Amino acid sequence: MCYSRLIRLAVIGSVLLSTAFSAAAQMARDDDEFGPVVRTYLGYLRNEKEVVDDRASRREVSPSYYRRNSNRIRALRQMAVQIARESQNDYLPELEAVAVDELGLLFERPPRFQSLKVGEVVQTTFRYLGSVRSGDTFFIFARLDPYEQADMMQRVNLSNNAAGSTVSNRVLTSPAPVRARRVSTP
């Protein structure tokens, strides 16, 4: 009886290992469609997931912390892949994923999440890219690069001067920046 349990556990273990290896191999094959910058970011997300998994296995973090951060990593990966496929460009902005109760971590005065529109610039610092439902709903923002931030600040200052009063620094509408497509040579 003990011998049959041992065999069953060995079979179950080998099935789980082969599933994990095939999932990792599939993910690596999926990443092959992207350039080195996007692949590096996706690798970074895989490493972050391993760290969260390791900390959870050693019971260093609570189950809710583990779930939220695993879901956040999944949401960031989904948005990164979407951006890379849509743009056909080996470039990703710095991405931030926050749940509703975390908007205060990014913004001094958090915007109302119900009024966010894709492509809007929030407080001259972040562009709202959309939301991803991965367990929780995560709102994905791209940090504007310093040139975009300077341009947004200049627009706000011009608006303030033209209006003769202060304009809220909350949400500005701006088209998504267009970048030249990078071509990599083998």
The band of 64, judged by pLDDT with boundaries at 50, 70 and 90, is very high
**What's the rounded mean pLDDT across residues 20-36?**
65
Cα–Cα distance measured from residue 122 to residue 173, given in angstroms and rounded to the nearest whole number? 9
Output the six-digit token pair for 31: 């990443």
Q: Indicate the DSSP class of residue 170.
A: S
The band of 167, judged by pLDDT with boundaries at 50, 70 and 90, is very low
Residue 74 pLDDT exceeds 90? yes
The pLDDT of residue 156: 76
Write phi, then psi, for 66 (nearest 5 degrees).
-60, -50
Q: Which residues contact 31 (CB under 8 A, 6 or more apart)?
A: 38, 39, 42, 43
pTM assigned to the model = 0.68
Residue with tokens 């599933």: 19
Cα–Cα distance measured from residue 63 to residue 60, given in angstroms and rounded to the nearest whole number? 10
Domain boundaries, given as residue ranges, for the chain? 10-92, 93-175
Output the six-digit token pair for 110: 């958090």
Average pLDDT of the residues of the chain? 80
Q: How far apart are the first and last CA of the chain?
A: 58
Neighbouring CB atoms inside 10 A of 7's CB total 10
Summarize pLDDT for 77-126 with one digit per residue, the tens. Answer: 999 999 999 999 899 999 999 999 999 998 888 888 888 999 998 888 89
The band of 13, judged by pLDDT with boundaries at 50, 70 and 90, is low
Residue 178 pLDDT exceeds 60? no
Q: Which residues contact 175 (CB under 8 A, 6 or more apart)?
A: 119
Q: How far is CA 165 from CA 111, 112, 125, 159, 176, in A?
A: 21, 23, 21, 9, 27
The pLDDT of residue 70: 95
Q: Which residues contact 28 (CB under 8 A, 6 or more apart)?
A: none
Neighbouring CB atoms inside 10 A of 68's CB total 19
User: Buried b vs exposed e over 40-53: b needs ≥16 C-beta within 10 Å?
Assistant: ebbeebbebbeebe
Residue 186 pLDDT exceeds 50? no
What is the share, in percent, of the chain residues with pLDDT greater than 70? 70
The pLDDT of residue 180: 46
**What's the rounded mean pLDDT across residues 39-52?**
96
